[in-house]
Amino acid sequence: MERLLYVHGSGATQDSFQAQVDAFPGSDALSLPGHPKGEALTSVGELADWLEKYIRWTGLRRAVVAGNSLGGAIALEWALRYPADVGGLILIGTGARLRVSPEIFDMLDNQWPQCIDKFADWELTKTAPADLRARFKQWHSLVGQKNTRLDFATCSSFDVMDRLAEIEAPTLIIVGTQDEMTPVKYSRYLHDHIKGSVLLEVDGAGHLVMAERPEPVNAAIKNFLARLA
């Protein structure tokens, strides 16, 4: 079985996948460069190459990569650049194109750190646990204004809509039905264009579905890994 790795989204850290690390012994959640340690990278391509270097550095032959939002974009780009190393993909609250609203950049430029509360409103539902909302705010505070803005700019330049047919790896797609950042239609597009993919829509969950509703997400991942085995 290939090792399972998790890659977080914009302004987040590895802690966003803590529920999955706890559920799957031997799996590993990564913090991207600049989150908060090191220098942030500025393109999905650079981040995909960074992920491949990590995989090679740890001595893995292949990996199953799960990514949320920006992390999903990195997973997709990695799969396109290094198909022989892909044991499987788990795409969570993401899309083949991730254009970011000018409103978000304006808030980052002119309303930091107050805008973190608004981002939490967009990425989590009103029924999300209070401790998760507190953790969300901590992630963004640690990563900081500059690197959070870089993340969103990196997302905004990402587009592989015309290349999804090239992906041949087994793929699981998960999205919350209340995801305001990457709406359900993004995941349905991935499902329609990645051959053999499986789609799970988690009712009532938001953008951070893996942290907000870990039970159905972990069950789907468990079934996916069993099919791979």
Share of the chain above pLDDT 90, in %: 98
Model pLDDT, residue 1: 57
Model pLDDT, residue 2: 81
Mean pLDDT of the 92-113 span: 98
To the question of pTM greater than 0.85 for the whole model, the response is yes
Residue in the block written with tokens 């640690």: 142
Model pLDDT, residue 218: 98
For residue 36, is pLDDT > 80?
yes
| 51 membership: H or E segment, kind and range | helix 44-57
Q: For 36-150, where are the E strands, in sequence order? A: 63-68, 86-92
Model pLDDT, residue 157: 97
Instruction: Delineate the domains of the chain, giving CATH numbers in brackets.
Output: 3-228 (3.40.50.1820)
- Please, which residues have CB within 8 angstroms of residue 156's CB and are 6 or more apart in sequence? 98, 99, 100
- Cα 138 from chain centroid? 18
Residue in the block written with tokens 């709406």: 183
- Cα 204 from chain centroid? 19
Share of the chain above pLDDT 70, in %: 100
Mean pLDDT of the 7-25 span: 98
For residue 90, is pLDDT > 70?
yes
- pLDDT band per the 50, 70, 90 thresholds, residue 131: very high
pLDDT digits (tens, 9 = 90+) for 145-203: 999 999 999 999 999 999 999 999 999 999 999 999 999 999 999 999 999 999 999 99
Mean pLDDT of the 45-64 span: 95
For residue 53, is pLDDT > 90?
yes
Mean pLDDT of the 23-32 span: 97
Closest CA to 47 of 17, 93, 19, 79: 79
For residue 39, is pLDDT > 90?
yes
